Structure 1
Amino acid sequence: MNFEETVKKVLTNSLKMVKMYEWLLDLYVLDFFVDDHWSKLPKSWQKVFENMDASSLGAIISGKHTNHMLPLSFLALVRAIEAYSLSRKRLFDPESKIPISNYLGHPKLKNLFLKHVKLKKRHEISLMADIVKLTALDADCNAVVDFGSGLGHLVRMLAYKHEFHAAGIECQTQLTEEARKLDLELEYTVKKHLNADSISKLHQPTHYNITLSSINQLDELSLPETMENFGLVGLHPCGDLGPLLLKYFVNSSKVKYICVVGCCYMKLSCGGGNTGYPMSSYLAALDNGLSFVSREIACHAIEVYCERLVKGDYQDLKVHAYRAALERILVDNDPKLKHAPVRSIKHTNSLTFHRYCALATERLNITLPKCERAWAQGEDDLQKWRRVVTVYTLRLALAPLVETVVLLDRVLFVLEHGLSCTIHPVFDPKISPRNHIIIARRK
């Protein structure tokens, strides 16, 4: 079985599991009490999870051993998730495969590219730059365009450290201007340590301020002559931007490679013609619908969440129950207030339910009910907060299957166009939950 057939098989099986448990994925947490989500679980699941500590559930979802007697249907689900989801464990280390960098020729410039960069972003841009370097060497193309370049941290590393002819595209003018200032700041620092000859060889990135909405705009870019052919990079492009870059890659012979990490799946346009999902002809012919709620939960951090459960650090997760209990009060008071945009309030042990409701609704200009029965119902709901955590955890366990469907659809789209394409979990998922990089190049 070749790689394309393997992708189709895994994609089909993942989608089948998603469809089988669509009823669970589509349970919106704030509707927990309004729609009685607990009653939707199989009776055997209710019986087991009713008295199970959240730490034990976190251990089960994390694949750790437990002495609990679990329903066969649940065990089968856990095994299916393990079998059909893309592995999220970091296995690919690009750093060991590329030539050692000289950090611009001076040891004091080693950490220059990490200045002004938060820890999460440091992890991402360092590994992403290494991946791009490897891919570019393989494609024999030393030029790159970074989409959604923000403050230019990645494109700056690619240009100055890895000596790419690089351009960054960002839709926010303020970020583009700040990126140019950071380039100048870097060069000012470099001049203190390098000679004139070394400085003259620096590759300064070009920054463009463009809102990208169609692939035609990319053909209209006035790139430098050194970038006649180039690669595309997208580090967590939002919604349809990732699919847009992949479409441009397969349709433009001047794009030699692409490295893209997906994000914000809930913002994808779905169904119909030129959409972000599905992309492949194979998946388009199947029953492929994914709800907004299922795509949204596929963007959450399952490793960090389960680790907190295992450690018993889940008291603040009561806020989900607070919100769900408030939703019942609001809907009972006025059905038009369903899913009202209440404020996000962080839970603390000293926060009473009354206080939470007052803070959450203070911008809505509504009067909360004063009858004791409504508040008694709310307090009773809060006693069931562990049920809310349990159902949310079960939904989160399915999230990797949804992400697998979205990502393998993109991989298959590239393969269907006769181009080389792979996918690797490169980032540490505890630091960067969307950690799979799709890498494709022209053969």
Structure 2
Amino acid sequence: MIYSEKENVKSLIEMSLKVIRMYDWLLDLYVLDFFVDDHWEKLPKTWRDSFRDMDPQHLGEILSNKPPKQLLPLSFLALIKSVDALSIPRQNTYKPAHKIDLKNLDNCKNHPRLKNLFLKHVKLKKRHEISMMADVVVDTAMQTGCNAVIDFGSGLGHLVRVLAYRDDLYAAGIECQRQLTEEARKLDLELEYTAKKHISPEAASKLHRPLHFNITLSCYSQLVKLPLPETMMNYGLIGLHPCGDLGPLLLKHFVESEHVKFICVVGCCYMKLSCEGKQQGYPMSDYVNRLDSKLSFPSREIACHAIEVYCERLMKGNYKDLKIHAYRAALERILVEHDPKLRHAPVRSIKHSDSMTFENYCSLALERIKLPLPTSPSVWSRGYHDLQQWRRVVVVYTLRLALAPLVETVVLLDRMLYVMEKGMSCEIRPVFDPKLSPRNHIIIARR
């Protein structure tokens, strides 16, 4: 998704925020407060009439752009169409630009005996992300003539290992946990040991071993002071799901430092963004700062959920385990009426089971806060009455989730506009499979 004109981005952000302002009341509903705050009555009457007896499976189909099987309120249809029109597309259309040279097999990239070399110790979701992210980084590095990268939040070093040993880039990883850094170095040596069994000594001598730095990054000036070798004086900056304010921090370093030739960063944990102060992570751009751009914690939290996977579950009729939301909401009413100070108490998280009674659930959930079970029959009677409305709980949660892509769009476009205001090109591409990796957009900017 590429915008050549800042005015296009500004217009899209402004229209998105107008829709969000109209539905702040919905975005800000916590599921566990469903009965305490009577969420059902907060819906417009026409919505309540339409959704009261609707099977959640049908609602999943509607949110997946399938034709509705009944008449729906125009205000709801307008909302769904607006979110769909304004949100950044989420389906992957990215195709790697660089070509693989299959003639030269004497390297870690093409040797047939080493094709699984980078898959060890890596789970399926991470394999997908690393593979796609590496392709984007290599393409961007080639376009900018830059052959070095720094990965922030590198963990066990899986991504930098691919970029260094497979793609011949000079790579460094920054990780705040010392244990992960030490383990990453061990995995480098393990990979080299295996590779040297299959490639020539000459090829082995040319392998680029990645660097690993153990640093807790709190300001972008720390990146300037890294003891980098001459081969990494200019570099690209990459971040695969840096949490909260760390993504914005990397973007700030990119625009401030001439040594950073490009950046590829994927968002994560928007609810942890700071929204006030000099180092705020949202909003970043001057333009959005001047708008009524507030995004509440609940709205940023719901924007991190997996809408495609959720709707697929609804459409398959696999939603009975979502009853657990109603269990928690019914327990919340009991807790608040027992003692208002227990509102949002950190009860134990319990998975749903068809054989689980409400009493069983409450007994397990209350273990953490050591609260005895209620003894009044009327309390249990109303609890079971609440549970009969579990489909309504699912409906309200689903309606909130329908707005999630629009909230994420505002966060991402604000970051994009921040870069464009500094005079640099920027684009947002949906690269990962959203069913495997819900935060699937990569912000790509070049100096």
Instruction: Give TM-score, length-normalised by structure 1.
Output: 0.98
Counterpart of 1:20 in structure 2 is: 22
CA contact (8 A) 1:101 1:162 kept: no
2:99 matched residue in structure 1: 99
2:346–2:368 CA contact under 8 A, matched in 1: no
Report the 3-state secondary structure (helix = DSSP H, G, I; strand = E; otherwise coil) of the residue aligned with 2:185. helix
Taking structure 1 as reference, are residues 258 and 335 closer, same or farther at Cα in structure 2, changes over 3 Å only? same
Post-superposition CA distance 1:127-172 (Å, at most 9, x none): 0000000000000000000000001000000000000000000001
CA drift of 1:92 comes to: 1.5
Q: State the 1:331 CA deviation.
A: 0.5
- AA matched with 1:113: F
Q: Shift of the alpha carbon at 1:110?
A: 1.2
Matched residue SS, 1:86: coil
Partners of 2:431 and 2:101 in 1: CA distance: 20
Counterpart of 2:243?
238
User: 2:295 is paired with a residue of what secondary structure?
Assistant: coil
Map of 1:74 onto structure 2: 76
SS across alignment from 1:407: helix
Amino acid in the other structure paired with 1:415: M
SS of corresponding position for 1:113: coil
CA distance in 2, matches of 1:396, 1:20: 15
Determine the structure 2 residue equivalent to 1:281: 286
Output aligned runs, 1:45-124, within 5 Å: 45-94=47-96, 97-100=97-100, 103-124=108-129
CA RMSD of aligned residues (A): 0.9
Alignment of 1:390-409 (within 5 A): 390-409=395-414
**Aligned mate of 1:42, from 41, 44, 47:** 44
Whichever residue aligns with residue 166 of structure 1, its letter is A
1:323 aligns with 2:328: yes
Give the equivalent residue in structure 1 for 2:182. 177
Identity of aligned residues (%): 68
Mapped to 2, the partners of 1:153 and 1:3 lie a distance apart of 36
Structure 1 residues not aligned, in runs of 5+: none
1:205 to 207, 210, 222: 210
Q: Which amino acid aligns with 2:198?
A: H
Tell me how far 1:98 sits from its aligned partner: 1.0
Q: Secondary structure of 2:227's match?
A: coil
Q: 1:104 to 1:374 in 2, by over 3 A?
A: same
The one of 123, 133, 136 equivalent to 1:131 is 136
CA drift at 1:99: 1.8
TM-score by length of 2: 0.97
Q: Given the alignment of the two structures, is residue 270 of structure 1 paired with residue 272 of structure 2, yes or no?
A: no
Instruction: Give the counterpart of 1:421 among 422, 426, 440.
Output: 426
Match of residue 201 from structure 2: 196
Shift of 1:101: 5.3
CA separation in 1, counterparts of 2:414 and 2:369? Answer: 41
User: Counterpart in 2 of 1:309?
Assistant: 314
- Note the residue ranges of structure 2 that are not aligned, 5 or more in a row: 103-107
CA displacement at 1:91 relative to structure 2:
1.3
Letter in 2 for 1:193: H
Q: Which moved more, 1:365-374 or 1:304-313?
A: 365-374
How far apart are 1:194 and its partner, in Å? 1.0
Match of 1:377 in 2: 382
Instruction: State the partner residue of 2:105.
Output: none
Map 1:143-154 → 2, pairs under 5 A = 143-154=148-159
CA distance in 1, matches of 2:95, 2:200: 34
CA distance in 1, matches of 2:224, 2:101: 33
Per-residue deviation at 1:272?
3.2
Distance in 2 (CA, whole Å) between partners of 1:177 and 1:298 is: 34
Distance 1:165 1:91 in 2: 28
- The aligned residue for residue 218 of structure 1 is 223
Q: Secondary structure at the match of 2:248?
A: helix
* Residue range with higher mean Cα deviation, 105-114 or 379-388: 105-114
Q: Indicate if the aligned counterparts of 1:101 and 1:161 stay in contact, CA closer than 8 A.
A: no
Output the CA distance in 1 between the equivalents of 2:167 and 2:256.
27
Per-residue Cα deviation, 1:51-92 (whole angstroms, up to 9, x for no partner): 000000000011111221000000100110011111111112
Letter in 2 for 1:409: D
> Which amino acid is the alignment partner of residue 228 of structure 1?
M
Residues in 1 aligned to 2:410 and 2:188: alpha-carbon distance in whole angstroms: 39
Alpha-carbon distance in 2 for matches of 1:355, 1:401: 38
Letter aligned with residue 119 of structure 1: L
